[in-house]
Every structure is written in structure tokens, then in C-alpha cells.
């Protein structure tokens, strides 16, 4: 019988309770709806892939049973997206009456890590069946040092942060099996969502909100009439902010183009986390800034080896919408000029910090969130075109908090967790995930944009070592 009184067990039950309540909304948010309808996979993709290193091959029956339990605990994993026949309402979540775990979870055998990563990239490149729940997983066996679990998940189901949080919540704090784990509440399945009913319901909602919208418009027009100069000035400032956010301040690198977005190659690295934190502190920045500086250092080495000196490149970063510092929970993406001419990692962190802080004065950081509800009422090509309007950076860099302590999946210890994000026009996307005292760095590279992928991998590894890893 399992001991459920140990600290790890009590922490497990607390996390599992949180997982049971995870993502309980019935509709996609405006931003999720925009990304869902505008997606043109893989060129304009909303697919995230997570690679988890395991210290051993877990027992398959136990692994399947654990996954079955997880999908029962988190009901969203058994639900699919239902669209209205016309875009008058948001898509809604509905139970998939044909849910089949065998479709979503399988195992394959590989001979090396390189083969596993190549296979994982091919899994990520295959489009989702949109009539099913938006996730797929593969357990790769045959690796010389254990196994690898690869999860492909759509942004409508969870963004990269939500994916890491969900995986961390569902994992166990001990290797032994836990009996009497919590299960999802039995719920009466709602009537199947009807696309026509959704569209009609959206129209009724629009009609009901017309009076309020009319009053709001009248107030706005009244303000413009009484204070025309102030309204005009505010509008011009906001427009200028939008222009700055949608244009690049640095020219794209010729060494990171042309890009097709159709050839994904996955790279993974791991290093001690403390040296990166130390460099961040010395440069007066955050771990996010250090991650950006690390990637820029690797790209700097790559450009020098290619005899192509470039002073700066456009880099996509995550910016806090809380304005005070990068410690909030509300974020937007923006583009900075990433310095490639700075050799010292500490100085590079300081330069990145300055670039990021300058974004906090931008009034239009939330412009996409504000515009999403309107674009969602239009044909999907409108949203897709709007997303393509923004200039694509050469690289996206993201930092995510992973599990702070040891985690296990069906008795196998999690040795690393690597997030490989999509490539929305960028040459590469890099994500640093903190796993205990280790920094796990996943890089998705558009192979069509990089002349020598092996050399880029070597340059990134050298820069990680320069950070003290």
C-alpha cells in the first residue's frame, strides 16, 4: 500500500488538485481564437513541442495508465474545439465522444538522441486533426541513457507556460506508484455543441449588446467633440507606438535567411542554472535578459565564423504588461535590437536590459489583444494577414519556470524538460526552462535559414560554456 502521508505525497495531491481545476473555461479567449483561426501550419504555427528526458524506460502499461488518469483528471485533454458556422461567436470546447487514447499516445524506438530529435521535429510538423483533442505524445525508447517523452500541444489548449505548468502538476514527486490518486469529477456530458446554434447565439449576444455599444460610442464621440486636441494627441501617440512595435529597429541578418518555416530542426542543451543567474545579476538584468544575451552570444559566434559581422539583429522577447518589472503574470511579445557586437556576456545582459526597459513606455503593447475581438469576426485570412503584417524577428527567446524539484513519470525520473516553440517567421526560437538547478535550453531552427546547422549548434554550446556552464 502506498504511503500518502510523506511530504512528497502531500505536495503531489495538492498539485493534482490544482490540475483538476486547470483551464475550466468553456470558450477560447479572443487571443486563442485569433491564433486558432489564423494558423497556417507550419509557416504560421501555434504548435509547441516539449521533450522530456527520462532516466529509464517506464513500464508501458503503467505509463499508459498514468496518461489515462491524467486525461481523466484534466478534462480539457479529452475535449475538441467546435467552431460556429460563421464567426459570430468564439469557438467552444466540447467533449470528444470518440476520444481514443491510443490515437494520442504511442511509442517508438530510436537508436540515438539525434534520431529522436529528428523524429520529434517531424511529429511537430504534422498538422493536428482539428476534429480531435489538440495534443499528441510519443514515448521514444532505445536511447542509450533512458527514454524521451515528446508532447505536441496546440496553443489553443495551452501556451508554452501553461504546458510546462500542466506537465509539472501532473508529474509525481516520487518514483513509487501512488494508489488512490484523485480522479476527475464525474460530470454529465453536455449536449454536443452545434455550430449553427453557436453562430445564432453569437448573433443574439451581439444584438443584446448593441445598446451598450451605442452608449459607449456616443461617450467617445462626446469626448472627442469637447477635447479634440487631447483625443487627437492620444491617438497619434498610440499610432506611433503601434508603428514602432510592428517595425524592426535592426535589419535582419543575411546569415539567417531566406526562411521557409517548413524545415524544423530541434537542438537541446543543458547547463547549470546558477552561473546564468550570476551573469544576469552582474549585468543588472533578469534571467530572461540573460537567456536573450546567451542566444545572442551564440549567434555572434556563428556570424564571426561565417565572416559576416553584424552589429545587431531583431529579437522577439516577452515583456511584462505590469510595467514595474518583469515579475508579473501578464505578458506581450515585442521586438528589440539584440546586440551582436558585444563580446562580454555581462555587458550584453546590461544592453538587453536597457532595450527591454525601453519597451515599458510603449502604449500599444496590448494592441493585438485589443484588436483580436474585431478580427475574430472576420474571415480567417484577415487575422492571418494581420499577424503577417508585423515584422518577424531573427530569433524569439523565452524563459519559463519548470519543476523546482525532482519529478517522475510512471516511475522514471525527469532529467530535463525542453520546450521547442513554433517559428512564426523567425529563423529560430529558443526557450530556457528552469528544472531544479539546471537550465534546459530548447532551440527550434528553420533549417532553410541556416547554412550550417552543426556550426550553429557548436556556437551555441560554446556560448553556454562561456556563461560558466
Q: Is residue 190 part of a domain?
A: no
pLDDT per residue, tens digit, the chain (469 aa), is 233 344 567 788 888 888 777 777 788 888 888 888 888 888 888 999 999 999 999 999 999 999 999 999 999 999 999 998 888 888 999 999 999 999 999 999 999 999 999 999 999 999 999 999 999 999 999 999 999 999 999 999 999 998 999 999 899 999 998 877 777 665 544 556 776 665 556 555 655 555 554 454 445 445 445 655 544 444 444 444 445 555 557 899 999 999 999 999 999 999 999 999 999 999 999 999 999 999 999 999 999 999 998 999 999 988 765 544 333 344 567 888 999 999 999 999 999 999 888 776 554 445 555 565 666 666 665 655 655 656 789 999 999 999 999 999 999 999 999 999 999 889 999 999 999 999 999 999 999 999 999 999 999 999 999 987 5
- Count of domains for the chain: 3
Regarding whether 120 and 208 lie in a shared domain, the answer is: no
Task: Supply the range of the domain harboring residue 63.
Answer: 9-176
Q: Is residue 216 part of a domain?
A: yes
Regarding whether 392 and 287 lie in a shared domain, the answer is: yes
Three state DSSP letters for the chain: CCCCCCHHHHHHHHHHHHHHCCCCCCECCHHHHHHHHHCECCCECCEEEEEEEECCCCCHHHHHHHHHHHHHHCHHHHEEEECCCCCCCCCEEEECCCCCHHHHEEEEECCCHHHHHHHHHHHHHCCCCCCCCCEEEEEEEEECCEEEEEEEEECCCCCHHHHHHHHHHHCECCCCCCCCCCCCCCCCCCCCCCHHHHHHHHHHHHHHHHHHHHHHHHHHHHHHHHCHHHHHHHHHHHHHHHHHHHCCCCCCCHHHCCCCCCCEEEEEEEEEHHHHHHHHHHCCCCHHHHHHHHHHHHHHHHHHHCCCCCCEEEEEEEEECCCCCCCCCCEEEEEEEEECCCCCHHHHHHHHHHHHHHHCCCCCCCHHHHHHHHHCCCCHHHHHHHHHHCCCCCEEEEEEECCCCCCEECCEEEEEEEEECCCCCCCEEEEEEEECCEEEEEEEEECCCCCCHHHHHHHHHHHHHHCCC
Regarding whether 263 and 229 lie in a shared domain, the answer is: no
Q: Is residue 186 part of a domain?
A: no
Regarding whether 347 and 227 lie in a shared domain, the answer is: no
| Model pLDDT, residue 5 | 41
Q: Is residue 28 part of a domain?
A: yes
Regarding whether 164 and 147 lie in a shared domain, the answer is: yes
| CATH, residue 79 | 3.30.559.10
Regarding whether 224 and 130 lie in a shared domain, the answer is: no
Regarding whether 301 and 273 lie in a shared domain, the answer is: yes
Regarding whether 459 and 326 lie in a shared domain, the answer is: yes
Amino acid at each position: 500500500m502506498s504511503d500518502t502521508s510523506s511530504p512528497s505525497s502531500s505536495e503531489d495531491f495538492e498539485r493534482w488538485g490544482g490540475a483538476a481545476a486547470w483551464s475550466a473555461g468553456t470558450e477560447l479567449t479572443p487571443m486563442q481564437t485569433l491564433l486558432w483561426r489564423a494558423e497556417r501550419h507550419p509557416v504560421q504555427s501555434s504548435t509547441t513541442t516539449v521533450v522530456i528526458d527520462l532516466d529509464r524506460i517506464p513500464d508501458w502499461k503503467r505509463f499508459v495508465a498514468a496518461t489515462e488518469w491524467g486525461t481523466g483528471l484534466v478534462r480539457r485533454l479529452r475535449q475538441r474545439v467546435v467552431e460556429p458556422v460563421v464567426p459570430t461567436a468564439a469557438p467552444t470546447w466540447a467533449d470528444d465522444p470518440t476520444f481514443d487514447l491510443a490515437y494520442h499516445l504511442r511509442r517508438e524506438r530510436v537508436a540515438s538522441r539525434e534520431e529522436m530529435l529528428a523524429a520529434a521535429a517531424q511529429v511537430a510538423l504534422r498538422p493536428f486533426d482539428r476534429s480531435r483533442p489538440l495534443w499528441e505524445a510519443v514515448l521514444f525508447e532505445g536511447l542509450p541513457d533512458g527514454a524521451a517523452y515528446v508532447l505536441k500541444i496546440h496553443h489553443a489548449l495551452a501556451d508554452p507556460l501553461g504546458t510546462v505548468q500542466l506537465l509539472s502538476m501532473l508529474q509525481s514527486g516520487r518514483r513509487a506508484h501512488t494508489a488512490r490518486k484523485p480522479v476527475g469529477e464525474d460530470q454529465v456530458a453536455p449536449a454536443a455543441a452545434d455550430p449553427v446554434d453557436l453562430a445564432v447565439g453569437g448573433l443574439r449576444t451581439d444584438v443584446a449588446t448593441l445598446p451598450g455599444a451605442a452608449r459607449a460610442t456616443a461617450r467617445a464621440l462626446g469626448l472627442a467633440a469637447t477635447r479634440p486636441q487631447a483625443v487627437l494627441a492620444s491617438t497619434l501617440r498610440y499610432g506611433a507606438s503601434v508603428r514602432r512595435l510592428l517595425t524592426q529597429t535592426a535589419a535582419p541578418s543575411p546569415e539567417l535567411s531566406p526562411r521557409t518555416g517548413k524545415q524544423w530542426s530541434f537542438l537541446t542543451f543543458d547547463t547549470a542554472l546558477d552561473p546564468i543567474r550570476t551573469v544576469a545579476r552582474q549585468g543588472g538584468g533578469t534571467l530572461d535578459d540573460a537567456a536573450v544575451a546567451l542566444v545572442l552570444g551564440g549567434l555572434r559566434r556563428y556570424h564571426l565564423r561565417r565572416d559576416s559581422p553584424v552589429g545587431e539583429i531583431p529579437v522577439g522577447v516577452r515583456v511584462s504588461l505590469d510595467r514595474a518589472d518583469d515579475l508579473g503574470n501578464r505578458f506581450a511579445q515585442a521586438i528589440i535590437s539584440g546586440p551582436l557586437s558585444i563580446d562580454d556576456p555581462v555587458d550584453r545582459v546590461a544592453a538587453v536590459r536597457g532595450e527591454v526597459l525601453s519597451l515599458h513606455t510603449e502604449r500599444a503593447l496590448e494592441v493585438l489583444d485589443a484588436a483580436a475581438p474585431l478580427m475574430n469576426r472576420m474571415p480567417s485570412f484577415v487575422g492571418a494577414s494581420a499577424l503577417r503584417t508585423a515584422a518577424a524577428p531573427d530569433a524569439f527567446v523565452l524563459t519559463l519556470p519548470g519543476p523546482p524539484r525532482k519529478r517522475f513519470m510512471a516511475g522514471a525520473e525527469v532529467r530535463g524538460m525542453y520546450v521547442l516553440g513554433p517559428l512564426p517567421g523567425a529563423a529560430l526560437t529558443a526557450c530556457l526552462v528552469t528544472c531544479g538547478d539546471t537550465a534546459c535550453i530548447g532551440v527550434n531552427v528553420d533549417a532553410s535559414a541556416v547554412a550550417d546547422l552543426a556550426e550553429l549548434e557548436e556556437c551555441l554550446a560554446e556560448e553556454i560554456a562561456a556563461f560558466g556552464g
